[in-house]
Each structure stands twice: as structure tokens, then as C-alpha cells.
Chain A
């Protein structure tokens, strides 16, 4: 294929013969590509953040429960293996992070009001890395150890209960024999969360204190594992399955929260549909440009054919023209998209619609996320479809009868 460099050079020159047309078409491609990548990055960022927030509350990429617990979240359906044995099981396996915790529904009562909450008995040191609460941002202090006898509640809940740091509240739940288990706690800290609903729903106490209150010895209700990447949890999942050998229910995060899992899948579909829609809108212009480019040089094409240029070369030249147009457009569009997303990396504040975003499960700051894979997908799809779209005009150009073409009045 020695002819390719020549054809490319020819194609390039033809493109700039009518520079206005080329520039308009280029602008359209650039805007299209920019829109594809920019929009994708925004939506990706939103879904990513949703999933991260969601996982941080679940928390854990992989979770282990008593099989009955998810349907009937009571301490009688707890994991009967004690903490010490759990450490023997999981510590040597070298998970990135794991923690066992007590999670039960409870009622919190202040002097003024009562509310239903989810009580989390945790070892604060073990969960620091993946907790949805930033320990350092807590008003007052966060729990200091698993033996801590204080309670940390959300700011919004504190407001409803009319309580504050230093005051006492009572937590009430059930022990394994279905007897009421309650205990007074001093509020030691108030946390803020990216999702206001979390501030009303979760209450943190020390794991040991919770175990004592619920009379469950050193057992817990769930074990959570963090892997390297939430999009690829199978390696962690399989290792956990091996370690617990069938007695407990092991779930991946997207099995625990269907909504989040669906969001992630829907997102991939959305990217592809968006790329195709934009491309189709572009394709009319692209084909039009090529048809015009062929039409206005029918005589030249006829001449070239008469001089012995192969029809295949004509075909190749038109396709190369279209590809050049697309490649230049894609390159500029990619750079432009990158340049607009980069300064927005710090997050876009959309708190004007915060409660609406919360309904979707997203927080009010949007961090656009530019994935290489989305960029590649967009570029490859546009190039491939562009190739298909240019086939017809190119094919017709290469089929001209030389004599007819030369004598055609342009």
C-alpha cells in the first residue's frame, strides 16, 4: 500500500480547498465530541459519588451476615462466631480492610423526643478508612475505642431530639431473648454527612459497649470487607467465600443495594446511547459534506480515473478525507473536554437542588469524572460509525465512468 501516504496527502489538501466547509464541519464534530465527553464525565461523576456514598454507609464492598439477618435484622440472627475467632479467620488472609460490627434497629430517646434509628456498634480504629463520617470533622469528638461509653449522633438528629454534646440519651433495642435491652449514653460528638438522611438514621456507639448492652458476648451482626476497587469486588468476594465456607451469607455491595447496582449498569448503557445519538446527529452533516466534496470534483475524479488511478484509490481517498476530518475533530474535542473538566475537578456546587439529588441518592457536590475508557469508547464509536457513513459517498465516487464524469458540467 505505497499509495496510502499519497492519498492521505491528497485528502488533506482537498479538505482545505474549501476551508469554510471543513471548518464548519470540524466545529460540529468538536462540539459533538466535547458534549459527549463532558456530559459523560458529569454523569459518571454523579453516579460514582452516589455509589461511593452508598457503599460507605453499607459499608463494605463485600458483606457477611447470618442468612436470616437481611430479612429480619434482629440480634437473634447474629453471626455466632466471636470476634477472636474472626480475627484468626481473616487477619492472615491479608484483606485490605475488614471490620465486624453490630448493626441493629434501635429507639433513641432524649428528654424531649424519641426516634427510630440504626445503632452501629463499631471499633472506630478499624473503620476509620472507609467510614462515611470524617472523624476529624465531628463536633465534640468521635468514639475513641470499641469500649467507649459515649454515643455519636448526627447533627440533624440532635436538633430533632433537642440534645447536644454532653447531654444524655437512652438507646433501646432487643437482646437475643427478645427482652428490651437499653442503656443510657452521653452524647460525645455530632457528625455531619454528605447525605442529610444519614444524619437522622445512624447512631454510633463502641462495639464492646453495644455487645454488653445487647448481651451478645463478643459476637456481631455483620462483617464488612473493603477491596481495592468497588467496580471489581469479585477477588475479595471469592476469598471471603473461601474463608467462611458456606455457613454465612456473603454478598457483594450491589446485591445488598439493588438501586446502586442498577445505577452502575444503567450508566454504561447511557454512555453508549449518548455517543450514538450525538453521532447520528453529526452523521447527516458528515455525509452531506462528503457528498458535496465528491460532487464538486466529479470531473477531477473522472480525469484521475482516465489517467489510470484505480477506483479503490478513489474510494480510499474519500474515506481518508472523512477519517482525517473526524480525527482532527476528535482530537480537538477531546482536548477541549479535558480542558473544561480539569478546572471543575474540585467539584461543582449544585446545592440549589440538594434535596432532589438526595432523592436520587446523590450528594450536592458534583465531581466530574473523566474515564479513559469512556473517552476511548466515544472516539472509537465515532470513528467506526464515521467510516460506515463515508462508505456510500466514497463507493459512488469510485464507480464513476471516466468519460461521463469528465464531460459532466459541474
Chain B
């Protein structure tokens, strides 16, 4: 072992209690950081996936302006051929066409204004989880069947069940009066109040008939296997759009701006807290190293008068800190992983948080996942700040005068 390293190591254990306490501070915050960061990023992933897969998809092809105004006449013409062309070009991606209209749904007793989607029964289940959330009855069959699936809250409010009829009233693409009688074949429950209260889906073919769409629709939804794939896919989709149609592609971020911003807002408050934690650990290290320098003033005076440069002594102090920091990093990461893993297996649920979780499409019980990234980030930052904190005591050595120092104590 290198002599300086050995010296540094021995110096650390001169006051083993002090060293352990300082390491304790690091271990505590490292454990906490690994745990918190694992939960946090796990949650963000879930939030994004759960929100997008319900309905939005990773990106949508729309007419310009439709995203903000959602007006009936902002259409994608010949939407079914467009969707099947894209499916041919990208056979591995999930692609489905939709139309949307506002309408009045009436049962015998009640009427409510709702959003009615026309969806391709064959392809919709690949881009949306709603077809899988059918609680009663079944999802749509056949592209032209006059049938409808509605949300559970809407079914309750309308007082209808599977098998009942609904009358739809609205206006068609050309502004004319549109009306139809459809059979309720299924009721879905997503747990998202807005969707369960305001949504209905019918086959796209039937939808186009009822609302005089003349082959048009409003959105082609595209979902990739993962979020990262979606980023790569987007330019390809844009390139594949037929020229001259003026259609635009919006990615999930544009379709659900709240999602990313909610994550950003949460991240900034989380990083504030982590920052404070790291600073407190840095102070603890600063205190320890300053003490250890001050109490060795006499000793340093001797070695300096023997010709040792202040710079080398400074490096010794840094090395001591680095050793201490390494121990803290290793133990902290390990305890962090063990602590987090316990929750990975058993799940973490905070009592009374179900409503909050549901608001962000999160399950009530969260299973944090440790990844190399969540394991290393926090502890590395702590390590870095630890080193930074020892700079002051190390630099102080330059002001030390050997003779005066030897007289100290």
C-alpha cells in the first residue's frame, strides 16, 4: 500500500468514533437518496405510461389546430386508408384511427352531453387500455355495428346497463343534424373520473355514418413499445405522411402538457430537498475535517519544518476525506439498495394516498425499482460535495507557519 494512502487511512481511525459518526451522516443521506430517487423516477415512469396508455398514445397525427380547439371540422381526411398505409410501413407499431364528436346521449330517463369517439375495433386495443378495462359486456366488434361502450359513471348517471339503447344527438361534419340509436354493449371503468363520466366509444365506420364524416376522422394514434422508441419513431412518422395534406404530428408531451410539467414541478421540489440534505452532510464533513486539521497543527508544523510542502499535506487531507467518502458511498448505496429492495418486494403504500395516486393514474401501492442509475446518482453527489467540503481545511494549511504551528498546543 502506498505510504500516503496508509497514512491517510491510519489518520482516519485516530478518532474512530468521530469518523463513524461522519460516515453515519453519509450513509443516512445516501440510503435516503437511493430510496427516494428510486421511488421518484419509478413513479414518473408509471405516471407517464399509465396516463398515455389509457388513451393518448405516444403521438397523434391531427389536423393543425385540432389539439387546442378540438373543432369538428379540423379533420384528417381519408383517415382509415392513412392509418392502414402507416400500418403497412410500420408493421411493428400500434396505429389506430379515431374520430371525435360532441353529442347528447339520452336514455329513457336521462340525457348527458358527452364526447363520442369513433374507434377501429380491431386496432384500438393496441393503442389504448380502455378496451381492456371493460367491466361488463364486451368491447366493440365490427367496424359498422351501431353499438357503443360507455364509462361506468356515465352508465350510472344515464341509468343504463349492457343491452340498453342510447339515442345520440349531435351535429355532423357539415353542420347538419346527426342522430342515431345505438346499443350499449359494454361498460368500462378506468378509475379516471373524467373518462368514466364523459367518454363513449363506437366503431369508426358507424361513427363516420352518423356524423357524416365522409371518410374523415380526427386523430391517428401511434404507440411505440417504449417511450424511448417513440422519440425515434416520431421523425419517421412525420416523413411517412403524404405530402401536401398539412397534417401535423404531436408527441405525448404536446398532447398532455400537464404530465411533464407535473413531473418538473415535483422534481424541482424534490431536488431542493435533496440539495439541503447533501449540504448538511457536507457541513458535517467540513466540521470533522476542520477539527482533525486543527488538532494536528503541532504535528503538521513538525513535518512542514522537515520540508513537507503544504500542498502535499492538503492532498493528504483530501485523501482522508475521499476514503471516508468512499466508505460512506459503498455502505450507503448497499443499505439504500437493501432498504429499497424490501419495498420492491412488499410494495409501499402511504395510508390515505389512494385518491392522490388516482389523480396521477398511479396504483395505490408502489413498487420502487433500483436501477444502477438510481443507485449511484445520489451517493455520487454526496461524495462530490464531501470532497468539496474538505477543500477549506486543506487550503488552510497553506497559511500555516511551521514554527508557529509547532508551538501550538
Contact = CB atoms under 8 A, between A and B. Distances in A.
A124 B236 CA distance: 55
Secondary structure class of chain B's binding surface, majority of residues: helix
Interface in A21-43: 21, 24-25, 27-28, 31-32, 35, 39, 42-43
A105 interface: yes
Interface in A243-272: 258-259, 262-263, 265-266
Contacts of A21: 287, 290-291
Interface in B243-296: 257-265, 269, 272-273, 276-277, 279-281, 283-284, 286-288, 290-291, 294-295
Nearest to B393: A20
Contact of A292 (B18, B103, B269): B18
A350 B265 contact: yes
Contacts of A356: 257-265
A130 interface: no
Contacts of A84: none
Contacts of B17: 291
A114 interface: yes
B405 interface: no
B261 A353 contact: yes
B283 to A, nearest CB: 4
Nearest to A361: B359
Nearest to B159: A72
Contacts, number: 170
Interface residues of B, number: 65
Interface in A277-323: 277-278, 280-282, 284-285, 287-289, 291-292, 295-296
A178 B112 contact: no
Contact of A278 (B115, B260, B280, B284): B280
Interface in B107-123: 108-115
B287 A285 contact: yes
Given A116-B102, A292-B18, A353-B262, A24 B283 contact: yes
A288 B21 contact: yes
B71 A113 contact: yes
A39 B272 contact: yes
A42 B21 contact: no
A249 B342 CA distance: 45
B212 interface: no
Contacts of A265: 352
B356 A266 contact: yes
Contacts of A106: 113
Contact of A28 (B112, B263, B283): B283
A42 B294 CA distance: 40
Contact of A284 (B28, B258, B350, B356): B28
Contacts of B264: 352-353, 356
Given A106-B113, A116-B198, A160-B71, A357 B276 contact: no
B400 interface: no
B110 A74 contact: yes
B281 to A, nearest CB: 6
A147 interface: no
B297 interface: no
Interface in A356-381: 356-361
A174 interface: yes
B113 A355 contact: no
B171 A180 contact: no
Contacts of B290: 20-21, 24
A160 B109 contact: no
Interface string A153-192: 0000001100000000000111000101000000000000
Given A21-B290, A73-B157, A116-B113, A281 B261 contact: no
B49 to A, nearest CB: 16
A354 interface: yes
A228 B114 CA distance: 38
B303 interface: no
A27 B108 CA distance: 71
A27 B283 contact: yes
A71 interface: yes
A295 B17 CA distance: 11
Given A259-B355, A281-B25, A288-B18, A359 B262 contact: yes
Contact of A114 (B171, B272, B284, B295): B171
Interface in B198-219: 198
A107 interface: yes
Contacts of A259: 355-356, 359
A352 B287 CA distance: 39
A263 B281 CA distance: 31
B265 A105 contact: no
B170 interface: yes
Interface in A1-59: 18, 20-21, 24-25, 27-28, 31-32, 35, 39, 42-43
Contact of B113 (A115, A282, A284, A350): A115
B18, B108, B261, B279: most-surrounded residue (chain A CB, <10 A): B261
10 contacts: A18-B294, A21-B287, A113-B72, A262-B352, A281-B29, A281-B277, A281-B284, A360-B262, A360-B265, A361-B359
Given A278-B280, A353-B265, 11 more contacts: A32-B280, A35-B273, A35-B276, A115-B113, A262-B355, A284-B25, A284-B284, A285-B280, A291-B18, A292-B291, A356-B257
The 7 residue pairs across chains A and B that have the minimum distance between CB atoms:
A356-B261, A116-B113, A284-B25, A356-B262, A28-B283, A107-B113, A353-B261
